[in-house]
Structure 1
Amino acid sequence: MSRRSLMYKPTSLRSLEQERHQMRLAAPVLSGYLLRKEAWDRGTSSRQTVGNPPMVCQDPVVQNALYTGNVKAVKEIFSKGFPSDLFIQPQGGAMRWSASGKDAIYDTSNIEEWKNYRFNYRGLRLWSLTYEQELTTPLHITAGRGFTECLRHLLLRGARVDLAPGGTTALHEACEECQPDCVKLLLQYGANPNATNEDGQMPLHVCTELDSLECAKHLLAFDALINGQSLDDSDTPLHVVARHGLPDHVELYLRHGAVLNLQNDDGNTPLNAACSQPQDCTSLERYSRVCHMLVDAGADIHISDADKQTPLHMACKNTNPDVVALLLQYKALVNEMDYGGDAPMHNILKVVAYKTDHEPERIVQALLNYGSIRVWPGALPKVLKYCCTSPRTIEVLFNAYDRLKITEAWVEAVPPEVFQKHREFYESLFALMQTPRSLQHLARHRLRAFLEGRLHKVVPILGLPTFLKNYLMLAFRDYIH
């Protein structure tokens, strides 16, 4: 359940078996409650008007029935004549002063208190101390927890489907919690598929989980706006699912006409949003699929954000080798600078130490083969210091130079524990203090310099053995010669 409608503190949650046991023990209480409700029905039904604000209920019997999905109890409590538009608010939390009226809290099972409430609302509007907590409704509780039968009963009893006491509708709640059956039911009863919550988001904007795909399908079937923008940051639903790495959602939205190159308030397109999102190893493949879909559909890879960062800058920063290869294949500008003066090569070298599991060496290799600028030779000891935990990154980067002026400072830049872990590689590197680079390497460097910027086009069509082609493209050998 989302934080906006979570009514219980963790210490007060109980197992379902405990709740069932409590319901059995509370049977006499429930009967008494129903008698009080019946008396309330007789005493107040004739005085209700459309303008009266909804009541706020703190009765534990009602809350237990809703939060446990007890269909029988819900049907008994929310029967004919009893309002299904209650606001639910448990005891606890900070205190605040409020005038009796729409913010006042009263126990609806207490007839005298309800009468006082109606008198105060119409007349004196007295101030009193109340608990400051977010409100929810029976619809929100049942929709967010997937209690479809309870939800259906409340809707049949006339609950207002778009009521949003806490700033969010029950439809938002069901989408956020991936409850497709509840989403469909709410829409069938007239829920607005384009209602905005307190953050200016429509229900499609809160479909952010892999399991929310069916929810999104229901929303689109009921005319949800595929290109509707959120009020706070002008995100479209495509921005949102691209940012969360949801390839099936992306495919769905593209089929329904999602705009590819619309920029949000930060200047990001959906492709920028996907590339800029931090990604762990388990999600790299999902984000790669998303980017492939967007690019294949015609996304512009050259659009930069407010900081003049292109998708290539962002993919390098978040270390997704497959996305970098894709963007380079579609002619991304390998030496474009952002407002901070950083090229994509700078972005990847800054994060190598934190992203060794992401194979950053593949990105450095691809950038160099597509003509990226190299690091100033005087800065190589600093690069060695910060990237030494990824020997292959050091290998491919240093092999882009015809000669290396290695000193004792280079040896000191590698911590002893890193040196021991990758001893064979670093011994081959530091041996170059007395030994020049091999003739084979010098020939490679000369040919690469001649084909600068065209390597990726020319080398594959040369009539050379595969191992020589790989050598020219800086294939990894785990030592330097």
Structure 2
Amino acid sequence: MSRGSFVFTPMALRSLELDKDMLERDKYKRQLASHHFSSYMLRKEAVDRTTLRSSTARPPTVCQDVVVQNALYTGDLEAMQHLFPRGSTANLIIEPQGGDMRWVARGEGLWSLTYEQELTTPLHITASRGFTDCLRLLLQRGANIDIAPSGTTALHESCENSQPECTKLLLIHGANANAVSEDGVMPLHVCTSPESLECAKYLLQYGAAISGRSLDEDDTPLHVAARNGLPDHIELYLRYGAAVNKQNDEGLTALNAACAQPQESQDLQRYFKVCQLLLGAGADIHIADQDKHTPLHMACKNVNPDIVDLLLAHGAQVNEMDYGGEAPMHNILKVVCFKGSHNPERIVRALLNHGSIRVWPGALPMEHKEFFESILSLAMTPRSLQHLARCTLRSFLSGRVHKVVPKLDLPTFIKNYLLLEYRGFVH
């Protein structure tokens, strides 16, 4: 051992290693923040050169002050008035602590599970949380309203989080109602909940493009509202002249998008109302997507009996085949086991009454077996003269059963019998 050296205990060595790791993590974190900030500034400079917009505002600075962040995240107006006095700048870039975990390459084949850091601003924080007074203070202090360090503007944040007063305030101060995020969507595209209706109204009043397309899927706001089952949004967009039969990259119209969306029992009526509005505005029920799925195929797959009845009433074709050679009847039989609470028997009955093709017995699901087997037995082995008479009449009327039988001068119970009324099985 050389003179002047001393022995490290295992505990001391471990402590030094931990300190070294901590310093390396801190160094990496600073490099990551610097990278994000540099990338943002490069994008911002490119946009500024393209639009030729001159600005006297000071460039944003990175803020890691926990006191400032706490005031912003809690909406503490009094603290913010102290932290942002007159003459100060509110153009700050903030790197929140925490977030989602992700694997990050450390070099030399090593990976580390690290918190994903996304840059934000005081405007984004207050707008997304509905702190209107705090947002107003920041705007009065000259905060850049179109700044988007993580790819979205504060207007996107307020709309996505259904904060109408913040949305209105941002628009009044000149926020771009058609700003495109890094993901290629405009503020109208992120109005995806019933509570965002007022935000959508303000956007349209301030010039949002009703037919604006998202970059990835080519969706219009009408597609988004239909997919999320938002009848009030649909009604609003139609009043503003939304094109009802526009197709996106997958060939979906708004009607297709509504019918294709998986629906729980509590959602059925919302989507039915959406389809009613779209059909009332002239939606084409015959437009199919890239796989030749019509709205009827999709409504059968998601087991919404009211939508199926609505589409059939508007002339949907029950025997149209998709690319896989399957008709709507195949779609309902595939999922009936999983959607018993949706009354799938209503759809089978409606399709048969409109002239649907029959399905081979092996396609029948195990649940509701009595019902489906009783359907087949009507065609193959009528059990009585009564059954035979019904089979003969239905065969003669073919796809006109649903139109002709209700007009016949017969007792209601006989009409129901001819239309395959069921009580767990068809008698």
TM range (shorter): 0.7 to 0.9
What CA deviation, in whole Å up to 9, does each residue of 1:234-276 have, x standing for no partner? 1000000000000011001101100000000000000000000
Q: Determine the structure 2 residue equivalent to 1:341.
A: 325
Q: Determine the C-alpha separation between the residues in 1 that align with 2:299 and 2:377.
A: 23
Cα distance change of structure 1 residues 91 and 367 upon mapping to structure 2, 3 Å threshold? closer
Contact persistence 1:274–1:287 (CA under 8 A):
yes
Q: Determine the C-alpha separation between the residues in 2 that align with 1:261 and 1:281.
A: 27
Q: Determine the structure 2 residue equivalent to 1:262.
A: 246
Contact persistence 1:202–1:230 (CA under 8 A):
yes
- 1:64 aligns to 2:70 (yes or no): yes
Contact persistence 1:275–1:315 (CA under 8 A):
yes
Contact persistence 2:211–2:220 (CA under 8 A):
yes
Q: Determine the structure 2 residue equivalent to 1:73.
A: 79
Q: Determine the structure 2 residue equivalent to 1:87.
A: 93
Q: Residue 453 of structure 1: SS of its match in structure 2? A: helix
Give matches, 1:40-119, under 5 Å.
Answer: 53-91=59-97
Q: Determine the structure 2 residue equivalent to 1:275.
A: 259
Letter in 1 for 2:62: V
Contact persistence 1:364–1:393 (CA under 8 A):
no
Q: Determine the C-alpha separation between the residues in 1 that align with 2:136 and 2:411.
A: 69
Q: Which of 163, 172, 195 is equivalent to 1:179? A: 163
- 1:288 aligns to 2:266 (yes or no): no
Cα distance change of structure 1 residues 480 and 185 upon mapping to structure 2, 3 Å threshold? closer
What CA deviation, in whole Å up to 9, does each residue of 1:298-324 have, x standing for no partner? 000000001111000000001100000
Cα distance change of structure 1 residues 82 and 397 upon mapping to structure 2, 3 Å threshold? farther
Q: Determine the C-alpha separation between the residues in 2 that align with 1:55 and 1:131.
A: 22
Which range moved further: 81-90 or 140-149? 81-90
Q: Determine the C-alpha separation between the residues in 2 that align with 1:327 and 1:447.
A: 25
Deviation at 1:179, TM superposition (A): 0.3
Give matches, 1:38-437, under 5 Å.
Answer: 53-91=59-97, 133-376=117-360, 380=361, 382-384=362-364, 387-391=365-369, 393-394=371-372, 397-398=375-376, 400-403=378-381, 437=383
Contact persistence 1:96–1:132 (CA under 8 A):
no
Letter in 1 for 2:255: L
Letter in 1 for 2:84: F
Cα distance change of structure 1 residues 158 and 51 upon mapping to structure 2, 3 Å threshold? closer
Contact persistence 1:395–1:476 (CA under 8 A):
no
Contact persistence 1:365–1:397 (CA under 8 A):
no
Runs of 5+ unmatched residues, structure 2: 1-54, 107-113
Which range moved further: 196-205 or 146-155? 196-205
Deviation at 1:85, TM superposition (A): 1.2
Letter in 2 for 1:335: N
Q: Determine the C-alpha separation between the residues in 2 that align with 1:401 and 1:232.
A: 49
Runs of 5+ unmatched residues, structure 1: 1-48, 98-129, 404-435
Cα distance change of structure 1 residues 191 and 341 upon mapping to structure 2, 3 Å threshold? same
Q: Residue 148 of structure 2: SS of its match in structure 1? A: coil
Deviation at 1:57, TM superposition (A): 1.0
Deviation at 1:398, TM superposition (A): 2.7
Q: Determine the C-alpha separation between the residues in 2 that align with 1:96 and 1:479.
A: 61
Cα distance change of structure 1 residues 250 and 228 upon mapping to structure 2, 3 Å threshold? same
Q: Determine the C-alpha separation between the residues in 1 that align with 2:377 and 2:240.
A: 48
Deviation at 1:82, TM superposition (A): 2.6
Between the aligned residues of both structures, percent identity stands at: 64
- 1:475 aligns to 2:421 (yes or no): yes
Letter in 1 for 2:60: P
Q: Determine the C-alpha separation between the residues in 2 that align with 1:51 and 1:73.
A: 24
Q: Determine the C-alpha separation between the residues in 1 that align with 2:183 and 2:97.
A: 26
Cα distance change of structure 1 residues 267 and 392 upon mapping to structure 2, 3 Å threshold? farther
TM, length-normalised to structure 2: 0.81
Cα distance change of structure 1 residues 91 and 294 upon mapping to structure 2, 3 Å threshold? closer
TM, length-normalised to structure 1: 0.72
Calculate the aligned-residue CA RMSD, in Å: 2.0
Deviation at 1:480, TM superposition (A): 5.4
Q: Determine the structure 2 residue equivalent to 1:420.
A: none
Cα distance change of structure 1 residues 480 and 169 upon mapping to structure 2, 3 Å threshold? closer
Contact persistence 2:123–2:135 (CA under 8 A):
yes
What CA deviation, in whole Å up to 9, does each residue of 1:8-49 have, x standing for no partner? xxxxxxxxxxxxxxxxxxxxxxxxxxxxxxxxxxxxxxxxx9
Q: Residue 229 of structure 1: SS of its match in structure 2? A: coil
Letter in 1 for 2:83: I
Letter in 2 for 1:375: V
Q: Determine the C-alpha separation between the residues in 2 that align with 1:480 and 1:328.
A: 22
Contact persistence 1:392–1:476 (CA under 8 A):
no
Matched pairs, number = 363
Letter in 2 for 1:66: L
Deviation at 1:368, TM superposition (A): 0.3
